[in-house]
């Protein structure tokens, strides 16, 4: 079946602009994660959605970052007033959420964000 998809695959923006990144999880997966991966860095946890529960936003680096998940499916990650240090690959993952700590996460191909 279809895997996790993300769009756009690449985004180049100017400093100070807002960007929206989209994630379509695997159908039936109720858990959704956003991560970012900078050059030479590991994946940095940003936010976690599980069904209708309040999201775990503890990983968001600043209030310029926000995310929504509408209808328990598609999610958008918004970065306002982008800064150069926001340049990274933003990865989305989904899982069945039967047991979050052990579920296999399936990653999308990522969005490569470059802030000029």
Partner 1 sequence: RKEVEQDPGPFNVPEGATVAFNCTYSNSASQSFFWYRQDCRKEPKLLMSVYSSGNEDGRFTAQLNRASQYISLLIRDSKLSDSATYLCAMSSGLTGNQFYFGTGTSLTVIP
The one segment of 19-27, 67-75, 76-84, 104-112 that binds partner 1 by CB under 8 A:
104-112
Buried b / exposed e over 10-39, threshold 16 CB at 10 Å, is ebebeeeeebebebbbbeebbbbbbbbeee
The one segment of 13-21, 43-51, 64-72, 73-81 that binds partner 1 by CB under 8 A:
43-51
- H or E stretch covering 111: strand 111-115
Shortest distance (Å) from residue 26 CB to partner 1: 13
Q: How far apart are CA 46 and CA 67, in angstroms?
A: 9
Question: Cis omega before residue 114 (within 30°)?
Answer: no
Shortest distance (Å) from residue 4 CB to partner 1: 8
Taking CB under 8 A as the rule, does residue 9 contact partner 1?
no
Taking CB under 8 A as the rule, does residue 35 contact partner 1?
yes
Whether residue 24 contacts residue 74, with contact meaning beta carbons closer than 8 Å, is answered with yes
Among 7, 43, 57, 80, binds partner 1 (CB under 8 A): 43
Whether residue 49 contacts residue 58, with contact meaning beta carbons closer than 8 Å, is answered with no
> Which lies closer to partner 1 via its Cβ, residue 80 or residue 106?
106
Contact footprint for partner 1 (CB under 8 A) = 31, 33, 35, 40-45, 48, 50, 56, 58-59, 91, 99-102, 104-105, 107-110
């Amino acid at each position: 079946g279809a895997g996790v998809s993300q769009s756009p695959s690449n985004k180049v923006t100017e400093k100070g602009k807002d960007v929206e990144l989209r994630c379509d999880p695997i159908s039936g997966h109720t858990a959704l994660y956003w991560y970012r991966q900078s050059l030479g860095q590991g994946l940095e946890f940003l936010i976690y959605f599980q069904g209708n529960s309040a999201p775990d936003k503890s990983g968001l680096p600043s209030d310029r970052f926000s995310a929504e998940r509408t209808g328990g499916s598609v999610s958008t990650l918004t970065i306002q007033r982008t800064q150069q240090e926001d340049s990274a690959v933003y990865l989305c993952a989904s899982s069945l959420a039967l047991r979050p700590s052990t579920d296999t996460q399936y990653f999308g191909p990522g969005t490569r964000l470059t802030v000029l």
